[in-house]
Amino acid sequence: MRPFLLLLILGTAQFFLRPEPESESQASLAIRFPGVVHSVVLGGFRPMVVQYLWWDLEAADEEGRHADILRNLTLLQQVEPDNARATLYLAYFLAYTLKERESAQTGRLRRIEQAIDLLQQAETRLPREVSLPLLRGQLLANDQVWSEPRLYVGWTKRRGETPYAGAVAALRRAAELATGARHVHRLLADALRMRALELLLKSGDAPGAASLLAEAVGHLDQAGATDTTARRLAIAWSGVVLALRDRDPVRAAAALGPLAAAIREVDPPNQGGTGTEERLAGAILRWALDLGRSVAIDGPAVDALSLAVAIHNIQALLEARLEPIRTDPGADQAFRKELRALVKDVVRRAPHLQGRVPTELR
């Protein structure tokens, strides 16, 4: 019935409106209905055509007709280029549903790029529409989109920036457009925190990471999230990063405690968590271990031991939480071996500290 209704509408339009199509959207509809509208100008019938396309889209979605979903969304984009709803729907469909249907990595990466490019183009046309940069930031910061490390690496090589760098830029724009939207500020704070740790781990830019973490705390405060796990994580990470930046073993040891406490508030991997915080903390511990080695050579031995014990405590927590998804237990064993070697060096230099060494580190 609906297709017949649309054909009747378009047939009537063709009878009264004879000119050739003047736009890409009209030409696309002619392709959709070649026997009826090859020369139609939609005019006042546009709302009816749009409604039909949404009806058909909903039916196609229920029936799993992905080709029809893509076709209808593309047509809606062309018929109503300034309608953000179709753009958002299409970007989401590309980044999730169609990406998962691609068998090759290049195909999956192409779908993600299509989604992001689509949103960026729409932002140029609709610069005040907050939902566009918001979805772009969410896609770029979503672990589900970057489910494979190769996709993350491929994007970074082709775009010249990491997904989190793009997410921060997009969500900053969304926050500018919706200054009072608390959820936007919270999303931006999460992206800033992840980008900060990425910056530290990939390029060693501790000052830059500390600045981003401070910005993250500010956005959480702006969102009213003063007593939340997200804020405690941001503050704890900030303390660790600042201590590592300043090469201060005492502050680093003290900062690892609050970080462990904040991580305990996050759902573990076998109970809905992703393990992201745990993995990041494990990577940061390598930096802390290097600092401990440096202090063990030419700094106060007691400070080196305090840092080693703090590292040991949080490492034990991380191992327990990551146990259900661990793929390389040898890496944990190697790290513990290096940590025990550090403690041995400290005790060799300061034998009187032997009594302060935990049994597991002897």
Q: Yes or no: say if 361 and 343 are a contact pair by the CB < 8 Å rule.
A: yes
Question: Does position 46 have pLDDT exceeding 80, yes or no?
Answer: no
Cα–Cα dist 38/29, whole Å = 8
Cα 111 from Cα 176, distance rounded (Å): 28
State mean pLDDT over 247-261.
Answer: 96
Domain parsing of the chain, residue ranges: 247-362
| Cβ contacts of 232-238, under 8 Å, gap ≥ 24 | 232/258, 232/261, 232/262, 232/265, 233/193, 233/259, 233/262, 233/263, 233/266, 233/277, 234/189, 234/193, 236/261, 236/262, 237/193, 237/196, 237/197, 237/213, 238/210, 238/213, 238/214
> Would the pLDDT of 345 be above 60?
yes
In angstroms, rounded to a whole number, what is the distance separating the alpha carbons of residues 138 and 266?
Answer: 20
What pLDDT sits at residue 52?
72
Q: Please report which confidence band the pLDDT of residue 3 belongs to, taking 50, 70 and 90 as the band edges.
A: low
Helix (H) and strand (E) counts in the chain = 17, 0
pTM summary value: 0.79
Query: Within 13 Å and on the Cβ side, how many CA atoms surround 161?
Result: 11
- String of DSSP letters for 136-183: HHHHHT-TTTT-SHHHHHHHHHHHSS-HHHHHHHHHHHHHHH-TT-HH
- 192 or 27, higher pLDDT: 192
| pLDDT range class, residue 39, cuts 50, 70, 90 | very low
Q: Is the pLDDT of residue 4 over 80?
A: no
Give Rg (Cα) of the chain: 27
- What average pLDDT does this structure show over 91-115? 90
Q: CA-to-CA distance for 153 and 136, rounded, in angstroms?
A: 18
Q: Which residue has the tokens 């489910």?
A: 147
Return the pLDDT at 2. 52
What average pLDDT does range 50-68 have in this prediction?
77
Average pLDDT for residues 32-44, to the nearest whole number? 41
